[in-house]
């Protein structure tokens, strides 16, 4: 089980929880577990084709999973994942 930190804008979809314990051997498994527990999060994380939205950034510790093995990045019991949606503005 890993811990996934939920950013403030998405906590409305997790009952206000800021950290969720998720299961899985990879980051992708952990995200699937998250959206199984909180299905309302799915459209905020995945596009219509089932791919992770480009503005969703996930960090394992201090490393962006895009710099590791993406959704195939292995996770272990004490790992902490941080979900950070990109914010645009002007």
pLDDT tens string 32-74: 999 999 999 999 999 989 888 888 999 999 999 999 999 999 9
The predicted model scores a pTM of: 0.89
Question: Is 4 within 8 Å of 83 (Cβ atoms)?
Answer: yes
Residue 15 has pLDDT above 70, yes or no: yes
Residue 89 has pLDDT above 70, yes or no: no
Q: How far from chain centre, in Å, is Cα 80? A: 10
Question: Is 4 within 8 Å of 81 (Cβ atoms)?
Answer: yes
Read off the tokens for 24: 């899985």
Residue-range domains of the chain with CATH: 2-85 (3.10.20.30)
Residue 30 has pLDDT above 60, yes or no: yes
Q: Whole-number mean pLDDT of the chain?
A: 92
Read off the tokens for 80: 């902490």
pLDDT at 71: 94
The model's confidence at residue 24, banded by pLDDT at 50, 70 and 90, is very high
Cα–Cα distance measured from residue 39 to residue 76, given in angstroms and rounded to the nearest whole number: 23
């Amino acid at each position: 089980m890993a811990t996934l930190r939920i950013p403030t804008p998405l906590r409305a979809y997790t009952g206000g929880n800021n950290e969720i314990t998720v299961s899985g051997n990879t980051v992708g498994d952990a995200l699937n577990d998250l959206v199984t527990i909180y299905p309302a999060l799915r459209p905020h994380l995945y596009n219509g084709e089932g791919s992770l939205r480009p503005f969703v950034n996930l960090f394992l510790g201090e490393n962006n999973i895009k710099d590791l093995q993406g959704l195939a990045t292995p996770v272990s019991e004490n790992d902490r994942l941080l979900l950070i949606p990109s914010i645009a503005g002007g």
